[in-house]
Structure 1
Amino acid sequence: MQSSHPWLRHLLCPILVGAMLLCAGFCLAQEAPKQKPKADTTTAPVDTTRQKFDERIMDNLRRMSERKTIMGKLLKAILVFDRSSEEVYGLDAELIQREYEKHNYKIVRNLDIITLDAFGYSINDTSRVPKTFFEKAGNSLHVKTGRGQVRNKLLFKKKEPLQPLALVESERLLRQTEYLLDARIIVNEQTTTEDSVDVLVITKDIFSLGGSGSYSPSSGSGRISLRELNFLGQGHQLRSTYRFNMNRPRPWEVSGEYSIENIGKTYISADVAYINQNYYKEKSLFIRRDFFSTNTKYAGAAGVAWIDEQLLLPPIPEDTIPRFGDLSYSRRDVWLGRAFKFKSYNLGYEPRGRLIMGLRAIDTDYSKMPTDNFQSNILVLGSVGYSIRKYYKDHYLFGFGRTEDIPAGTLVSFTGGYEKGDISERRYFAASTSFAKYSPSFGYLYTGATYGTYIRDERLEQGVLEVQSLYFTRLTEWGNWKLRHYILGRGTFGINRNPEELLAINNESGLRGFRSDLLRGSRRVTFNYEANLYTPLSLLGFRLATVLFADIAWLSTGNKSSPFTETPYRGYGIGFRFRNEYLSFSTIQILLSYYPKLPVNEDFRSFRIFESSRPYYDFTDFRFTRPGVAEFR
């Protein structure tokens, strides 16, 4: 393979090494476990030739750090050798633990909150303190989360009785907070009485100030992004991005977002956004309250947005560049939801099922329309659903060892609505169902299906059928090396869609690293496979995993044609994934991919090296959300 990029050959070597490590993991998976030798009480010197590869590396680095050289002092400053691997406290399979039920309705006598800085501390061993220069310097630049912010996340208060699920749900809410790495809520069993408990809450921050950037020497274009996820330790979040020297209609783009979460312990959040890009502009303001907990009774939101968009028009065979049309509109949106729980005659036990109802109104006013298929309208939607939510805890799923909450359960919902437009009127109907199960020995399986359509004069239009299934295997371990497989299948089928409403197979929609503005269709089927080998290698908190993936996508251009009549597009690749759990940086992936079939009329290479910071897989929660129209994207 010839490449015009001189840095390509420097990246190929580590990628090939990662592929060999991943292949070694597969080979180890096929080996039968060896019998352990009988214990030998005699003492023998350590045979370094039999030590694990990573242990030999750390031993060599330890000896180098003891030398009084510049390199030795540098290694001693950035590496810590005397810390054994942490055991995750309380990592039971199911988050809703039976042992907590015995504390329901007891009075919280004492409530202590400990907040830890990002570097050098351990949530499972509070005696640990920062030791290296970089740990101490990082903490000096970080504003620790205030105890009041943690207290506002708790679903229980001091001197008040504990409601069912309050302990475990509070721990989950803390752990899912963006500026917290992990959280533990511990009941002091030694001081617990028949009517009161003492509770300890421990949280650990991430280094919330972060940023990223890129620069292309050939074109002079680049990107600068800055973020602060916990401004002054008060939970306010700021994100901004600036692009420059772009080869587009305008050389620059800018965007900014500001969020305030959980205002005054009401769990009401406010979001303000300003986006000024070449093909998309938005100004919006929203206040919202979700069904954040299984015990939440009310949820809702209200907001307004002004949007100018360059809508991609359907391609014709002669097109060599994409064609766009102007779309401008304002939107006012409000909704309210109410959850009802079923009665339980078992005192202290909280049933997980909820019946939820929601009502939503959307007022859309178009000022510019690229085709006649748009009209200003008022859409009123009503939904009723049944949700069973429960959560499990595991690790090495999408993070690198941090505790992760796995949603499982069932969600069934039905939506009906009526749209009154300037030109015509129509009804709307949708149904959705999803299911997921998890166990450490089986892995995780999620399946879901959604169908929605407008009905005008007994004719279906702008309909969509979407099905999805995600499975990941149990974690296979060989010492500090861990392997997990992911399989994702998705299908999206348009039903009498408008000509300008088309699907793509770019990146998260189908093939990783793939990009085509002209390749569009109305029906799409994709399958994605990925294997992650988590290595014990770490430097300054950055963890390393090797990635192997294979993607395949079918795309049809007609509303009634089957996507399987077309030759599929494919993508194969290997690469690395880096993440620092103590920083706000996103996961960084460097991947080398190969595409056997290329899009027509576009300059796209068979081999491509690209960087990605967005996760390709994610959980679908069983939380009831606002009533809405099934998305076609």
Structure 2
Amino acid sequence: MLSAPVRPTPALAPDTTDPKRFLQKLRHISQRKTLFGRFVKALVIFKPRQQVVPLEIELLPQALEQHTYKVVRSIYFKRLEPFGFSINDTLALPDNDLERLGNALHMRTKRSRLSNTILFKEGDMLEPLALSESERLLRQTDYILDARVTINDSTSTQDSVDVVIYTRDVFSISGSGSASTSGTRLSLRDINFMGVGHQFRTTYRFGLSEPQPWQFTGSYLIENISSSYISAELLYQNTYYYKQQSLSFRRDFYATTTKYAGGASAAWFQTLQPTYILGEGPPPAPNEELSYIPLKYYTQDFWIARAFRLKSYDLARDNPSRFITAARVMNIKYTEGSGPTIQSARLYLAAFGYSLRRYYKDQYLFGFGRTEDIPAGNLLAITAGFEDGAIKNRPYLGVKGAFGKYNPSFGYLYGGVEYGSYRHNEAWEQGVLTSEVLYFTPLHRIRNWRWRHFIWNRTSIGLRRPDFFALDVDQEDGIRGFSSASVRGYRKFVLNYETNLFSPLTLFGFRLAIIGFADMAWLTNVQNRSPFKEKPYTGFGIGARFRNEYLPFNTIQILLGYYPRLPEVGGQQEFKIFQTGRQYYDFNELRFTQPLITEFR
């Protein structure tokens, strides 16, 4: 039997998507002394993009593991400015006036702030994971773009090490504003005030067509006070529909080795809540005016938690698993307003849990090439308590389970389920059952282009609750670009898909990505009815994401959405162009927090 002839391999077609030829033409134009040439030189970055260094995805690479339990002899901080520098290329320097101007206006993070963030000091014995956990904690701050914690092997000895820490700052100051016929907005913030890590944010609106024609929101945050990892925040918000004044102190299980966590807060609130959210009737029909119930209340909240290390059967490694106990006391006092789910009460909660956390590294998830930390592990928590209320007393029981798995060839998968309910008159009431699944694929590459897919599912089911219209599918709660006061429900199932195509193009320092999305949401306001028996609401769209990792307002998204069914336009289809600066997805940290009442949203 004759075999088929082998076809010759065709010659490779020229790469019409390669931007090199186009950039060379722009470079020649930028070298001209004309006004347009100067504009192109300021607009386009001609510096070749640095090669992406393969990441050590392991939690503790072997190169660092060999230094465990050695004495830290010295710590040297190499602090890099936001623009033009690189952690992976120590020879990189700013090469244009805009980058040099940005660095001149920036105040670098102080060494004392960086020293307070890491988990070891000079003279300490280097504990397992101290290097990698310190690197992650530095990257986790809002004002550090990227960080590397390394060992100087040329000067280290058999019993001591010299640690070198590279950090690259984010340009911390930003302001924005907008004006239209409906009002004017001015915003200012600094996420690294004077280089000490303090953050303040302010927003002022005026000329509004509301009974209160102005709004103001301001906050001041101090992170990691005196190396205690206790953060303090002062918040003030004054709008017509919502007012808040609060002061809080908090210490989380910031690292896998943290033993103690806790918090204390005091707050005052004044809100105008739509009547249908509180269970007082159905939502309004399209174009019908909303009715509100005024609420005034204040809260005091205290909690404390302790993590216990579990036995390790490997003498060379610490067992990352922890058994955790926690207690919480919360007092809430209503001075105005009422509703089926509202009562002044004192809540006592206790929780017991198991936590296993690991972190891996990857790129091109929510950023454009910077190192990002991916949480993986398991979490199980059981919460029990008692509500001593002004109207009724009732016990509470809740349970939560979650896991996260990561593999470079598979991607990332997170799954979680949570249930909580009160018991009164020998029956369970005001219950909630929620679940969440997040998956993203491995990173795919075609030359200088990269893309990744995201799939996200959220389910909320109300159980024997009076607030049949508390759930919505607006914006982050369901469908991007969708907003409707009349689409409310009791049970919902949301499915989101997104694809991100990361391009090699840069404009004014902003990297460009093309995104597409498809969102679906099923919602019912009938008790004991499946949301799948209702017709789904959908949204489809495409757009562009501009991201500058070095600025605090680092993401701008412009999207075109198509919505086949909108109640506000008689159920007809509609196209929308909208802008957002928030990322749609985020990681669940698998971190044990204070004992919580399961949220119905």
- Residue 265 of structure 1 corresponds to 227
> Aligned equivalents of 1:627 and 1:223: distance in 2?
38
> Aligned equivalents of 1:35 and 1:474: distance in 2?
30
Matched, 1:69 2:34: yes
The structure 1 residue matched to 2:312, chosen from 334, 344, 364, is 344
- Residue 147 of structure 1 corresponds to 111
Q: Deviations over 1:180-219 (max 9, x none)?
A: 1100011112333221111100100011001233333xx2
- Residue 358 of structure 2 corresponds to 390
**Deviation of 1:343 (Å):** 2.4
> Aligned equivalents of 2:457 and 2:515: distance in 1?
19
Matched, 1:449 2:417: yes
Matched, 1:227 2:189: yes
> Aligned equivalents of 1:387 and 1:169: distance in 2?
16
**Deviation of 1:451 (Å):** 0.4
**TM-score after normalising by structure 1:** 0.89
CA contact under 8 A between 1:312 and 1:500: conserved in structure 2? no
CA contact under 8 A between 1:505 and 1:514: conserved in structure 2? yes
CA contact under 8 A between 1:570 and 1:596: conserved in structure 2? yes
Q: Deviations over 1:250-292 (max 9, x none)?
A: 2221101100001111111100100112211100000111100
Flag the 1:185–1:172 CA change in 2: closer, same or farther, 3 A. Answer: same
The structure 2 residue matched to 1:206, chosen from 166, 170, 187, is 170
**Deviation of 1:540 (Å):** 2.7
CA contact under 8 A between 1:102 and 1:348: conserved in structure 2? no
Q: Deviations over 1:84-135 (max 9, x none)?
A: 42333x6112233243222111011121001111111111122222221101
**Structure 2 gaps, min length 5:** 1-7
Q: Say which SS state the counterpart of residue 151 (structure 1) adopts.
A: helix
Matched, 1:237 2:237: no
> Aligned equivalents of 1:213 and 1:602: distance in 2?
34
Matched, 1:437 2:405: yes
CA contact under 8 A between 2:283 and 2:488: conserved in structure 1? no
The structure 2 residue matched to 1:163, chosen from 127, 134, 143, is 127
**Deviation of 1:621 (Å):** 0.7
User: Whose strand proportion is higher, 1 or 2?
Assistant: 2
CA contact under 8 A between 2:359 and 2:375: conserved in structure 1? yes
Q: Could you tell me which amino acid in structure 1 is paired with residue 599 of structure 2?
A: E
CA contact under 8 A between 1:313 and 1:500: conserved in structure 2? no
Q: Deviations over 1:571-630 (max 9, x none)?
A: 111111111001111411111111111125889971111111111111101111110100
Q: Say which SS state the counterpart of residue 112 (structure 2) adopts.
A: helix
The structure 2 residue matched to 1:470, chosen from 427, 438, 442, is 438
**Deviation of 1:500 (Å):** 6.7
- Residue 212 of structure 2 corresponds to 250
CA contact under 8 A between 2:82 and 2:169: conserved in structure 1? yes
> Aligned equivalents of 1:253 and 1:453: distance in 2?
37
CA contact under 8 A between 2:72 and 2:126: conserved in structure 1? yes
**Deviation of 1:440 (Å):** 1.0
1:8-23 → structure 2 map (5 Å cutoff): none
CA contact under 8 A between 1:321 and 1:518: conserved in structure 2? no
- Residue 300 of structure 1 corresponds to 262
> Aligned equivalents of 1:156 and 1:542: distance in 2?
36
CA contact under 8 A between 1:175 and 1:181: conserved in structure 2? yes
1:383-422 → structure 2 map (5 Å cutoff): 383-422=351-390
Q: Say which SS state the counterpart of residue 576 (structure 1) adopts.
A: strand
Flag the 1:358–1:602 CA change in 2: closer, same or farther, 3 A. Answer: farther
> Aligned equivalents of 1:262 and 1:373: distance in 2?
37
- Residue 330 of structure 1 corresponds to 298
The structure 1 residue matched to 2:21, chosen from 56, 64, 72, is 56
CA contact under 8 A between 2:83 and 2:550: conserved in structure 1? yes
**Deviation of 1:317 (Å):** 7.2
CA contact under 8 A between 2:241 and 2:271: conserved in structure 1? yes
> Aligned equivalents of 1:291 and 1:121: distance in 2?
32
> Aligned equivalents of 2:51 and 2:262: distance in 1?
40
> Aligned equivalents of 1:162 and 1:480: distance in 2?
40
Matched, 1:381 2:349: yes
> Aligned equivalents of 1:36 and 1:426: distance in 2?
76
- Residue 488 of structure 1 corresponds to 456
Cα RMSD (Å)? 2.0
Flag the 1:84–1:397 CA change in 2: closer, same or farther, 3 A. Answer: closer
Q: Say which SS state the counterpart of residue 138 (structure 2) adopts.
A: helix
Matched, 1:618 2:586: yes
> Aligned equivalents of 1:52 and 1:85: distance in 2?
19
**TM-score after normalising by structure 2:** 0.94
1:594-605 → structure 2 map (5 Å cutoff): 594-599=562-567
> Aligned equivalents of 2:350 and 2:101: distance in 1?
53
Matched, 1:426 2:390: no
The structure 1 residue matched to 2:157, chosen from 193, 204, 215, is 193
> Aligned equivalents of 1:274 and 1:449: distance in 2?
34
Q: Deviations over 1:300-352 (max 9, x none)?
A: 00010001111122254764122211111100000000000112253341111
Q: Say which SS state the counterpart of residue 120 (structure 1) adopts.
A: coil
Q: Could you tell me which amino acid in structure 2 is paired with residue 71 of structure 1?
A: F
**Deviation of 1:561 (Å):** 1.4
Q: Say which SS state the counterpart of residue 301 (structure 1) adopts.
A: strand
> Aligned equivalents of 2:247 and 2:9: distance in 1?
63
- Which is worse superposed, 324-333 or 72-81? 72-81
Q: Could you tell me which amino acid in structure 1 is paired with residue 191 of structure 2?
A: L
Matched, 1:277 2:239: yes
- Which is worse superposed, 434-443 or 495-504? 495-504
Q: Say which SS state the counterpart of residue 94 (structure 1) adopts.
A: coil
> Aligned equivalents of 2:43 and 2:98: distance in 1?
6
CA contact under 8 A between 2:174 and 2:190: conserved in structure 1? yes
**Structure 1 gaps, min length 5:** 1-33, 39-46
> Aligned equivalents of 2:45 and 2:467: distance in 1?
60
Matched, 1:121 2:85: yes
Flag the 1:268–1:381 CA change in 2: closer, same or farther, 3 A. Answer: same
Q: Could you tell me which amino acid in structure 2 is paired with residue 237 of structure 1?
A: Q
Q: Deviations over 1:541-576 (max 9, x none)?
A: 201111111101011012211111111111111111
- Residue 12 of structure 1 corresponds to none
- Residue 136 of structure 1 corresponds to 100
Matched, 1:556 2:524: yes
**Deviation of 1:80 (Å):** 4.3
- Which is worse superposed, 232-241 or 316-325? 316-325
Matched, 1:87 2:52: yes
> Aligned equivalents of 2:30 and 2:284: distance in 1?
64
**Deviation of 1:534 (Å):** 0.6
> Aligned equivalents of 2:120 and 2:264: distance in 1?
27
Flag the 1:192–1:260 CA change in 2: closer, same or farther, 3 A. Answer: same
Equivalences, count = 588
Q: Say which SS state the counterpart of residue 598 (structure 2) adopts.
A: coil
> Aligned equivalents of 2:284 and 2:481: distance in 1?
25
Q: Say which SS state the counterpart of residue 447 (structure 1) adopts.
A: strand
- Which is worse superposed, 308-317 or 504-513? 308-317
Identity between Structure 1 and Structure 2 (%): 48
Q: Deviations over 1:227-251 (max 9, x none)?
A: 1000000000001112222233322
**Deviation of 1:74 (Å):** 3.5
